[in-house]
Structure 1
Amino acid sequence: EIRTPMNGVLVMAEMLAASELPPRARKNADVIVRSGQTLLAIINDILDFSKIEAGKLDLDNLPFAVRDSIGDAMRLLSVRAHNKGLELAYRIPPEVPIALRGDAGRLRQVLLNLVGNAIKFTVEGEVVVVVELVEQGDDAVELQFTVRDTGIGIEPDKQQTIFEAFEQADGSTTRQYGGTGLGLAVSARLVELMGGEIGVESAPGQGSTFHFTARFGTADPSEAAVVPLDAEELRGLKVLIVDDNSTNRLILEEMVHGWEMRPQSVESGPAALAAMWTALEAHDPYRLVLCDGNMPTMDGYSLARRINDTRDFERPVVIMLTSGGMVDQGALRDELCLAACLIKPVKQSDLFDAVATAMAGDDPTRSEATVHEETEHSTTVGRRILLAEDSVVNQKLAVGLLERRGHVVRVANNGKETLELFEREPFDVILMDVQMPEMDGLEATAAIRAKEAISGRHMPIIAMTAHAMQGDRERCLAAGMDDYLAKPIRAEGLFAAIEAAVGCHEDEEAENDEARSACGNEAAACPADDSTTAGEMHDPVIDWIEALDRVGDDEELLRDVVDAFLQESPALLDNVRQAIDLDDTKTLQRAAHTLKTSFGHFGAIAAAELARELESLGSEGRTDGAAPLYGRLQERAGVVLDALKRYFDQGIKT
């Protein structure tokens, strides 16, 4: 009753600000938007605080991937930090379990508050989050989370009162920085509910260190949809880390050490060139360079140019780590032959995907554009593909990408239609969604394999799923699928998976059914280009660089996908609401799953995460706690859909 009208005011204000206005009116509209966002945040804090004080706030106890959860939270704040010229980093050492059980949403809420405050009160320097294992039992762990900044600091006599409601370190803080003092009070109560304690060490002018502990249950990685990283191919790889920030160097070293790579770190471009010469003279050259884009004296892009211009040694694969989006990033990436550009702070899984994909090709002299051009004219043209997918948005995206490559695509809306088309028409490969009505992808695959047991043939089948269910990957492969694509789908990942699956199939037939070579179930892995536009003043609603990347930089296809989602989303949201009202967990899971994937296509992380939480409830056969989640999803979806409509109607990316 409070949030809904406020959200309506905010959405209309954003629409007004995006319309054609005189400069003075636009400035006024922007003030309304910023004030509305601040007021909505205060309303949320007040409602949470009231619920906690009344003892009405219950925590979820669901499996989650702690590294992905924290990485997504940091990504939401990265634009804000980068706009202030701050380094934002986080470190999770290997001993911290990869899968936990608890309330990931409330953990993120605490971290977003603490890190958001750190960014707000820091003018220059860095904000660093560190997660440490305090204690581990058979089925539970205690973790400590530390948020350290180089900001203005806090007077000693104010350090205990800041966790009380409506308290701030200084009366002038509200005037200069805004806020009510409720955020820390809410965070402190949430930490107590998670079985932990919160505290702070600080000194004026010397920054602050906030820390809290929390207890979680342990979970099997498959419960949290964590796919183990297979680092066998990277073992022993020599890598050079180039970053002027010592914290970033430490974090990257720890990540690649975990994959048994051989890292060395340097703090500048000139030092990197010297290290490369030394390694060459020792006949042990670097094969990979992880390079910060923003460094003094010689930045990462200048270093990449020097590497490309030097013909005295074999050029290594270069992956650029940047602090913000660049308007011409794609062109610059091609010009400098960069394997990938990732936005800091980099998630471990994203870095692994980027490194694994780059090293699989291991030809740094060819740009991504060159590879793309060669692929356009390769044997990928002319495949007959059966797409089994019930989501209109996913259909539009996949068909658009595939037809652009010259493939012929037939669409089936469920497993039964898939079987009918499989029996009637010849295909080279089937792209099979796992979750479909009437007959799901696993059942359809099992039926196809049963028929093939009689005919002696083998149809390549690629699973398409969003890591939603426990053991999802294992069930797909056990059902007889040949490969596994994670949604939201990326263009190059899709094409690579098709060629891997069909290529293996053709090799098999040519070799009279000899043992299949390992074409690799990770062919679909693609670097997650965590990009956001540099000019945004608040957390982005939609990651347009991400959205364009998923459609292969095809603006026309992106418009088609946006149009399809604008048409489909109202019914999906209504299906979620009705499913909650009727306690229909199957419909809840399926509708939320489709929404999650669709939001993911556009890099709308917050909305996708809310849909994922609803999907998890449905998969567990529960609807308790779903109503408030749906309310939050409805609010966020309204903002996302409004931004998509502005893009579709006016071409404006906000």
Structure 2
Amino acid sequence: MEFACNCINEKDRINTLENYYILDTENEEIFDDITLLASSICKTSISLISLVDKNRQWFKSKHGLKIEETSRKISFCGHAIHQTKILEIQDAKKDKRFFDNPLVVGEPFIRFYAGAPLISSNGNIIGTLCVIDQKPKKLTKEQKKHLEKLSKQVIKILDLRIENNNYYKLKNHLNTIFDNMNNAFLVQDENGEINKFNKTALDILKLKSNESLNLNFFLDQIDILNEDGKKINKYKFPSNISLEEGENLRNIVIGLRNKKKEIIWLRINTTVIFHQKSTKILFVITEFTDITENKILSDNVKKIQLEILEKRIFLDIILQNIPSAIIVKDVKNDFRNLIWSKGAEQILMRSAEDAIGKNVYDHYPKEIADKYHNWDLEVIKNETVLKIEAAETLVPHKGKILVQTRKIPIKTNSNEGYRYLLTVLDDITELYKNKEDAQAAAKAKSEFLANISHEIRTPMNGIIGMCDLLLDNNSLPNQIEKLKIIQNCGSVLLNLVNDVLDFSKLEAGKLNLEKIPFNLNKSCFEIVELLNNQASVKGLILSYKCDPLIPEWILGSPNQFRQILMNLVTNAIKFTERGYVRIFSKLINDIDNNLVIEISVEDTGLGISKENQSKLFQNFSQVDASTTRVYGGTGLGLAICKGLCELMGGTIWLESIKEKGSVFFFTFTAQNLDENQKLKLNKPSFIFDSFMEKKYPLNILVVEDNKINYQVINGILEKFGYKPDLATNGIIALEKIDTNNYDLIFMDSHMPELDGFEATKLIIKKYEKLNKKRPRIIALTASSMKEDKDHCFSIGMDGFLSKPILIESLFQEIEKCFLNIEKEYNLNFKNENSKLSFNLNSFLNNFHGIEDLAYITIGNFVKLLPSYKNKIDQAIKNKNAFDIEYSAHNFKSALSYINAEKSLFIVEKIEKMGRENKVDLAINLYEELINELDNLMSELMNYEQKKEK
């Protein structure tokens, strides 16, 4: 910190100050008006007229500060009086003169300061007119200009006091400044009458001066709209609220609609001025700007984002449910696979894990691979669709099959060549005898295809992540509620995406429902908030009425509940052109702590005839093909709802009359919460820790090519106190690792040039060769399927974060990384003899004391152990070095989860022998592994028996 020092002309300066006879005098309204105006112009919480004498700075007038004076040595104004221009400190914490100043680290916590010197007529500077805020800030040229003018007015007042205290002359100067400000200002007295306004205000409101004497009269002539476009009462106008409640309002968006239906959107700030030493309101200053263009643009962007999101969800549902094999290849990356659908896994008998990132030469002998590759080249070269009615292909475990193939070039940029190649395969082995039927089926499937895209989570990651950051950035109260709505809606949409992608699990009866506490009414209101804009655009009234008998919190499956209700309400809005959509909840039964709840969605839409109602809940079925052409949809949504209702112990049905509307009903079962569950609801939520970097010092690298995703994760890490490095692809990440020692790497899975999977493999091999402890690698991916997680762990990644990235999940990975480093340092497992068959303490520590979850994990491991043993056993018998390495690598991930130290040590050595083609040594180690697995099973069974007791 640098102390404020004396000026060169200190003696003359002090004499000038004393000649004004102003020090230690009473407050004066004229000076208070100037500080208030300075604060309003510069939009700061504090403004002062500070006079600097020998040892202190004394405040003639102050706004937003309680103290009367401070020491000159630590004062900002003590520095400002050394120059004739404004001293602006945009961020005091970054300024070496002030970063540790008591006024910065303590009350009033100054972060921003701007002081205009008070220069007397003889050239001496006696103090400053300064504005202060607790957040970093930068004044505009106009604000600086006005601040300098006001500082001159302070001197003029002092000079006029000496000459004759000519108050009216000063007032004229202030009025001139007021009238020529770029921002619009209105000043209302305690009765709401306007006694002051400037030219900008009249121009924006398109008024003449004599028309604006009574604001309420003006508001009676127009419609007042809130930010969502709903009409509100004139008494909700910001200045009227401030007059009623005596509170300042900031950044309130209001629309004014005239009789011609023209709307002006304003962003409004109000400042309440009270009588001196009284709580009685003197007047209210209303400052506003015209944001009509920005508001229209923002609304259009939101609408487009919602449409894009709906289309992407729809496309992904199609992709995951088409029985055909859907494969997308990257033309510029050696035709490597980018998308490998469920149909491709079933037809070609290769998992997405094994196929993505590889090309035909990784799967077939060169002669066959050349043929397939030439087909791909032909499509791109000729820029046409290639149709192959029947071709033989080799499939593991099946042998040769016949497939019908369509290859389609895809261009994402009209100025570039074809970037992707879409391949659609159908197994026609059994159908080939009936060629006409096979062709008809292939044609129907081809018509069913549309543009394929899997980038669903990227915009959602930006929305949720930025909401988290804004919520933590001291947002205003009126903004917090809206941000939380956006955040909650984003989470709801994310859960819906995950559930829809699991439709195959629903069909197979493998979808497990969660049982967690949730607020049914809140969930319904959130869906109303989310879809209200869609309804409003069509002029529909969307409402919800709850049954007061339903408990506030119930135990059930909130994600599935929201998915069903979202689907029904979305359909109701889609098929209703006028009238309303109403949601009702009703408690049907409450016996022995079990609840049966009925939800109904009523609309005044198209209605459905009785003969067509039976089609609604069938997979891929709709009432009429024309419905699809007009409204879109696959007919899958209601089938999903039906399956989910049945899983939740309920059912779904409808009552409808053609052209009059429909009512969809569904029931589900839930439970009341016990006292322990109610107590858990009151547990505090996660809170940002800006000093985490000091608590968990880590060197972090973020590998991410998407700018939005990087801004989100970087913003969160900076909030924690970290300054991560960035690499936009795997190649750059490898270069950075050569010159930096990282503890933690967040690795995006899909990137240009070198993706996250291949980069991870290279990093692991690099550190194995160096025999060094490698960084912990956490996958960042837009995928959330179990297969995707398994793939990440199988290649050696240490964790998995699904986009959008949640703050608490990121915190947990950082904490886990540091604790693992600390644990390895303290325990030092270099000595093989110190390893345990089953390290129970370490295992339980990984679950943070949740022993029930640990017990379930052991049970799952015991069930899967024979499968892992069979794979490695088969590889040993076949003496296949590659299979030995691969099966040992997969087994290693499972063993590490349960802290089986000795078995893990042996499997790591087997993996190394396979990689080095030392099959005989791997066989010897395998015999050792079998014995150790017996010991491991014995210890696991002992633990299970103790747990059961």
Alignment TM-score, normalising by the size of structure 1: 0.34
Q: Which has the higher contact order (CA 8 A, sep 6+)?
A: 1
Query: Where is the strand percentage greater, Structure 1 or Structure 2?
Result: 2
